[in-house]
Structure 1
Amino acid sequence: MNMAYANATQTAAPGLMARMIAAMAARKVYRTTMTELQSLDNRDLADLGISRSMIRAIAYEAAYGK
């Protein structure tokens, strides 16, 4: 006896996939910037003209723009 079956596969829309990849890349830039700036000591940050309270905003701007 032969049995038939159907196999349906649904994938994400190409535009959605591109947006997801772009969002993941931006998040990686944010995390990397945060990590690198947080690893600096206060003197290095002062040399750059950055206070610790500015790190989050700088990382956000680097990843997502203004």
Structure 2
Amino acid sequence: MFDSLARKYRSWRTYQTTVSELSRLSTRELNDLGIARGDIRFVARRASR
């Protein structure tokens, strides 16, 4: 049970960090990475798996 909670917490932190970092980028920088601003949460969800 503890392992599951720890894993979920790590995933949540990865998601939050990824959203935060990508949100700080300019639209041009995101476009260079092939990411639209509206896709940030989707990309973060995939990164946190």
Q: Please give the TM-score of this superposition, normalised by the length of structure 1.
A: 0.72
Greater C-alpha Rg: 1
Q: Which runs of 5+ in 2 are unaligned?
A: none
In the alignment, is residue 54 of structure 1 matched against residue 39 of structure 2? yes
Segments of 5+ residues of structure 1 without an aligned counterpart are 1-15
Q: Which one has a larger percent helix, Structure 1 or Structure 2? A: 2
Aligned residues: 49
CA RMSD of aligned residues (A): 0.5
User: Quick one: which of 3, 22, 27 aligns to 1:42?
Assistant: 27
The CA deviation at 1:41 is: 0.5
